[in-house]
């Protein structure tokens, strides 16, 4: 029987012709994070299920409906991470990072797994860039975290997005708010979906992010949490606004934001695309979670963070026509005729690759014409043809595929000759380039 294996629904392959875009946004994320003092942490793709039950929350959509959970061969319940915060907190505690200077500022690039209905910008396997700041209670930390995401979007050239902020208060405010919600939803109990009915007693705030059309319609008229927050939480929120104003970061207060994960306290926020084609897509979500470290067995330690969906970010960038850097090019294709030329090509390519150049040699035994055609197709910047004549005369013609100019280069010192021609052209191109939009990060990368 013929095998018909396809990628699993809601997953996405990134092909070589596209992967440079992902590499670009991932590297930029790490570069920007570094400028704010956040350093990378890597945690496993799976964790004990209990970790997510306890942190994300048992009554959330993520835990109730979306997790990829299975028993391993030792009969332990394991879950593919649906998000990055829980694992980061677990690792923070397990490795005693609370003994390091606080605040500890970590960032991560991770794959995440949620069994959601796939659609544009919503996948079952997706990737996040996240940051977490442990050990800072001040709203200044919230503002810094938000500023990092804002700087990142600006650096990438994204323009049409808004930052929406809200406060969902502390557990004390939440008690009062839960009572108000219970009273509100009690009247419409009969119309709620089964999951929300069970949430009504245990965690009525979760009804607000139910994706069922009937529940969301009922939720529209519900009381908003901002009306129930205590003086301390309000002061925290007011200070955050002041710090955002001082940082020149625009925002709107959206009292409807409650976020779909249980660990948040006080500040919650989202960056939402306003571009025509991706309007409404949430690119980034985050907030403060002052109770989570303690909930997972640590001492009481305030924390805040955020995560950006990288597939959504790429989609928003592509749809809004943001410029990406040029895809990587093959610097030189060595076209060979005969065995001696192949041996010379091996020598030259090894030397050039050691210098960091991308070099292609023919490994299928094609004719010179076919090798030239291939060099063209893979977008080589230069070609050189080597045959017995070139080896005998110790001289070959280095051809720029850009403008067709040819430079005579000695084979015995090919590496130097190539580098000279390459640099001369790069300098000439630099002379014509517009550097006005380069940031210091770009310049640092160029100098690397």
Query: CB-wise, 289 or 414, nearer to ligand HAM?
Result: 289
φ/ψ bin of 121: left (φ > 0), alpha (ψ from -120 to 50), beta (otherwise):
left
Main-chain dihedrals φ then ψ at residue 132, nearest 5 degrees: -135, 135
Whether residue 270 contacts residue 158, with contact meaning beta carbons closer than 8 Å, is answered with no
In whole angstroms, how close is the CB of 270 to ligand HAM at the nearest point? 7
Question: Which positions from 194 through 233 interact with ligand HAM, judged by CB under 6 A?
Answer: none
Q: Which of 87, 286, 291, 298 lies at the binding interface for ligand HAM (CB under 6 A)?
A: 286
SS in 3 state form for 145-208?
HHHHHHHHHHHHCCCCEEEEEEECCCHHHHHHHHHHHHHHHHCCHHHCCHHHHHHHHHCHHHHH
Binding mask 127-166 for ligand HAM (x = CB under 6 A): -x-x-x----------------------------------
Q: Which of 307, 317, 334, 401 lies at the binding interface for ligand HAM (CB under 6 A)?
A: 307
Question: Which stretch in 41-49, 284-292, 344-352, 358-366 sits in contact with ligand HAM by CB under 6 A?
Answer: 284-292
For position 38 contacting ligand HAM by CB under 6 A, the verdict is no
For position 334 contacting ligand HAM by CB under 6 A, the verdict is no
Tokens of 39: 């350093």
Question: Which stretch in 120-128, 231-239, 241-249, 333-341 sits in contact with ligand HAM by CB under 6 A?
Answer: 120-128
Tokens of 210: 């139910």
Q: How far apart are the first and last CA of the chain?
A: 53
For position 282 contacting ligand HAM by CB under 6 A, the verdict is yes
Question: Which positions from 254 through 273 interact with ligand HAM, judged by CB under 6 A?
Answer: 260-261
DSSP lists the bridge partners of residue 109 as 129
Q: Is 428 exposed, middle or buried (0-12, 13-18, 19+ CB in 10 A)?
A: exposed
In whole angstroms, how close is the CB of 240 to ligand HAM at the nearest point? 15
For position 126 contacting ligand HAM by CB under 6 A, the verdict is yes
**Residue position matching structure tokens 């908003």:** 224
Nearest one of 373, 371, 286, 298 to 335, comparing CA atoms: 371
Q: Which of 43, 59, 79, 85 lies at the binding interface for ligand HAM (CB under 6 A)?
A: 85
DSSP lists the bridge partners of residue 396 as 409
Binding site for ligand HAM (CB under 6 A): 83-85, 114, 116, 121-123, 126, 128, 130, 132, 260-261, 282-287, 305-307, 309, 311-312
């Amino acid at each position: 029987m013929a095998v018909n294996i396809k990628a699993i629904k809601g997953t996405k392959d990134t092909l070589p012709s596209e992967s440079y875009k992902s590499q670009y946004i991932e590297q930029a994320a790490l570069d920007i994070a570094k400028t704010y003092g956040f350093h990378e942490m890597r945690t496993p793709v799976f964790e004990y299920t209990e970790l997510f039950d306890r942190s994300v929350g048992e009554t959330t959509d993520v835990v109730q409906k979306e997790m990829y959970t299975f028993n391993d061969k030792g009969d332990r319940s394991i879950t593919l991470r649906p998000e990055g915060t829980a694992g980061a907190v677990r690792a923070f505690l397990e490795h005693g990072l609370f003994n390091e200077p606080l605040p500890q500022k970590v960032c991560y690039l991770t794959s995440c797994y949620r069994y959601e209905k796939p659609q544009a910008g919503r996948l079952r396997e997706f990737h996040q860039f996240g940051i977490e700041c442990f050990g800072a209670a001040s709203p200044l930390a919230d503002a810094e975290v938000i500023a990092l995401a804002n700087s990142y979007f600006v650096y990438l050239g994204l323009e049409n997005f808004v930052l929406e902020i809200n406060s969902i208060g502390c557990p004390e405010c939440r008690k009062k708010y839960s009572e108000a919600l219970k009273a509100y939803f009690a009247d419409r109990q009969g119309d709620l979906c089964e999951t929300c009915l069970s949430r009504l007693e245990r965690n009525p705030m979760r009804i607000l992010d139910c994706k069922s059309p009937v529940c969301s319609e009922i939720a529209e008229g519900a009381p908003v949490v901002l009306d129930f927050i205590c003086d301390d939480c309000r002061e925290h929120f007011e200070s955050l606004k002041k710090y955002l104003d001082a940082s020149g970061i625009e925002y709107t207060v959206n009292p409807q934001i409650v976020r779909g994960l249980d660990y948040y306290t006080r500040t919650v926020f989202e960056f939402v695309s306003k571009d025509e084609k991706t309007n409404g897509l949430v690119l980034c979500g985050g907030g403060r979670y002052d109770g989570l470290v303690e909930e997972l067995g640590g001492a009481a330690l305030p924390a805040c963070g955020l995560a950006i969906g990288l597939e959504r970010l790429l989609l928003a960038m592509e749809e809004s026509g943001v410029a990406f850097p040029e895809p990587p090019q093959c610097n030189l294709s060595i076209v060979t005729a005969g065995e001696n030329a192949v041996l010379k090509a091996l020598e030259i390519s090894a030397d050039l690759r050691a210098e960091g150049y991308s070099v292609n040699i023919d490994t299928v035994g094609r004719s010179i014409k076919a090798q030239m055609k291939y060099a063209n197709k893979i977008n080589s910047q230069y070609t050189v043809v080597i045959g017995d004549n070139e080896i005998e005369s110790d001289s070959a013609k280095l051809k720029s595929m850009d403008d067709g100019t040819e430079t005579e280069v000695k084979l015995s010192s090919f590496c130097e000759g190539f580098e000279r021609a390459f640099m001369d052209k790069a300098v000439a191109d630099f002379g014509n380039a517009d550097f006005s939009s380069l940031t210091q990060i770009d310049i640092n990368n160029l100098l690397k």
